[in-house]
Amino acid sequence: MSQWKPIAQIAEDVRLGRVTASELVERALKTIEEKQEYGAIIATTAERARERAKAIDEAVKNGQNPGKLAGVPFIAKDNYLVFGAETTAASNMLKGFVAPYQATVVERLEAEGAICVAKANLDAFAHGASTENSDFFVTKNPHDKERVAGGSSGGSAAAVVLDMAPFALGTDTGGSTRQPASYVGCIGYKPTYGLMSRYGIVAMASSTDTVGTFARTVEDAAAVIDVMAGRDPFDGTTIERQPEGYLDLPADVKGKKVGIIKEYMSDGLDPGVKARIEEAAAKLKAAGADVQEVSLPSIKLALAVYYIIVPAEVSSNLSRHDGQRYPFSYQDAKDLDESYMKSRGNGFGKEAKRRIMIGTYVLSSGYYDAYYRKAQIVRTKLINEFNEVFKQVDFLIGPVAPTPAFKIGENDNDPLKMYLVDIMTVAANLVGVPSISVPAGLSDGLPVGLQIMAPQRKDRELLGIAKAAEEILA
């Protein structure tokens, strides 16, 4: 059982003086210290967190309202620009970088009284599915220390399950929130593309990057999302929030049309995972949902498309890390060319280099039409197929990942096998639809997540059915 009450209750207790923000911060920091062996946290923001907690407690004493999330501690993935600690993106390339401003979503959380207490581990620059690509250390699964916590937001997911904070921020470019949530057994939410600002987050692939939210319950996730969602003048891709907001969710499955994705339930699926998803579908049907099988033929190509488009964007975004503008720089270079070469060669890890090379290759003059252009054509086809299937059903369901969490080191020498971990999550990012992982039981003692998707801009509806599913599957 978690030491944390529901987020809304925590904030109310702080506003009414039943508990102080300072007490909550110390509780979070103590838990982080006690559970260091899991490798979830890169650094704490203890000094600043204590200062903010003190200010909130003073405001409460003076009869002021510190906000909807008053005193609630949270943890941010270390690719978010946050005051109080370095922002490294778990890469030696950014070690020593102190952010001159904060991410928009962090500013919005702080404006409502939330307090960042730590920065979470990740695969360097969010390139990976296990945190094994972190330049610092691997995050261990809270259910089995010999297994990964997933990635790239594995540190954030593990932190929530380890009770370090009531919620945590991740990012989701191809499944990096939903997959670790599935592996560790918590809620992992990816919004409609553009619902939350990416300003102040280290970019990976700009056409698929989204903010990710981890929490114990859908209700807690919704409380956080309600604060972060909406347009941002600093991010031109942002969209308007739904006017009803993301609280008081329509948590009912009765009469909802739910499509189980045929292509995701194929022979390659772990038997235990398949059994949990089939059981979840049966329970939703018993609760009144109209569950039917649907087909998305092009979804079989989604992973290949993703690993053409995303590395292309990675190669562009990482070009800014040249050893001249950020902390890491090769000091013994004879000239500027050698400085570029040696800084990037020594600063980037092997996965970043792999993605830069793939991306540069598919964007080159000889191969642009053969790879990148064709991938974008298939992406459009996939978008059209999703639009058509959402005329037939309200929601889509399936597994988050083909297996439960794998052992640390198991996929180290096989990049293709590692990439296949994302095979069931990348499509939602390519088409921009909201998606969530809800715990659906265990396979051989390890958590399994049910993935639920909704049409673009239907985040409130998705959170509603996720809340209902959470109760049905509990």
What band does 350 get if pLDDT is binned at 50, 70 and 90?
A: very high
pLDDT value of position 163: 98
pLDDT value of position 282: 98
What band does 438 get if pLDDT is binned at 50, 70 and 90?
A: very high
pLDDT value of position 222: 98
- Mean pLDDT, range 46-73, rounded to an integer: 98
pLDDT value of position 265: 97
**Is the bond preceding 435 in cis, omega lying within 30 degrees of 0?**
no
Average pLDDT for the chain: 97
Please enumerate in sequence order all residues whose Cβ is within 8 A of that of 172, keeping only pairs 6 or more positions apart, or say none: 153, 178, 188, 190, 209, 210, 211, 212, 429
- Mean pLDDT, range 385-412, rounded to an integer: 97
Query: Is 295 marked active-site?
Result: no
Catalytic residue among 91, 130, 134, 152: 152
Q: Is 292 helix (H, G, I), strand (E, B) or coil?
A: strand
At residue 213, φ and ψ (nearest 5 deg) are -125, 130
- Mean pLDDT, range 377-384, rounded to an integer: 98
- Cβ count near 262 (within 10 Å): 14
Cβ atoms of 184 and 158 within 8 Å: the answer is yes
pLDDT tens digits, one per residue of 185-230? 999 999 999 999 999 999 999 999 999 999 999 999 999 999 999 9
Cβ atoms of 360 and 337 within 8 Å: the answer is no
What band does 443 get if pLDDT is binned at 50, 70 and 90?
A: very high
More confident residue, 17 or 333: 17
Distance CA 90, CA 75 (A): 15
All structural domains of the chain: 1-474 (3.90.1300.10)
- Mean pLDDT, range 137-157, rounded to an integer: 98
Distance CA 471, CA 288 (A): 14
Displacement of CA 340 from its chain's centroid (Å): 31
- Mean pLDDT, range 451-466, rounded to an integer: 98
Distance CA 115, CA 169 (A): 12
pLDDT value of position 76: 99
Mark residue 19 as left, alpha or beta (left: phi above 0; alpha: psi -120 to 50; beta: remaining): beta
- Mean pLDDT, range 107-130, rounded to an integer: 98
Indicate if the pLDDT at residue 281 is higher than 80: yes
Angle between helices 302-317 and 374-389 (to 10 degrees): 120
Across the beta sheet with 41-44, the strand order is 41-44, 115-120, 73-77, 167-171, 211-215, 187-190, 435-443, 446-453, 395-399, 257-261, 290-294
pLDDT value of position 331: 87
Catalytic residue among 91, 134, 176, 343: 176
pLDDT tens digits, one per residue of 297-329? 999 999 999 999 999 999 999 999 988 888 888
Query: Is 77 marked active-site?
Result: yes
What band does 113 get if pLDDT is binned at 50, 70 and 90?
A: very high
- Mean pLDDT, range 15-30, rounded to an integer: 98
Q: Is 352 helix (H, G, I), strand (E, B) or coil?
A: helix
- Cβ count near 474 (within 10 Å): 8
pLDDT value of position 413: 84
Distance CA 467, CA 461 (A): 10
Indicate if the pLDDT at residue 352 is higher than 90: yes
Query: Which has the closest alpha carbon to 71: 8, 159, 118, 162?
Result: 8
Cβ atoms of 89 and 121 within 8 Å: the answer is no
Indicate if the pLDDT at residue 455 is higher than 90: yes
pLDDT value of position 332: 86
- Cβ count near 471 (within 10 Å): 13
pLDDT value of position 383: 98
What band does 463 get if pLDDT is binned at 50, 70 and 90?
A: very high
- Mean pLDDT, range 107-134, rounded to an integer: 98
Query: Which has the closest alpha carbon to 399: 230, 274, 252?
Result: 274
- Mean pLDDT, range 84-102, rounded to an integer: 97
pLDDT value of position 396: 98
Indicate if the pLDDT at residue 1 is higher than 80: no
pLDDT value of position 108: 98
Catalytic residue among 35, 68, 77, 119: 77
- pTM (whole model) above 0.95: yes
What band does 416 get if pLDDT is binned at 50, 70 and 90?
A: confident
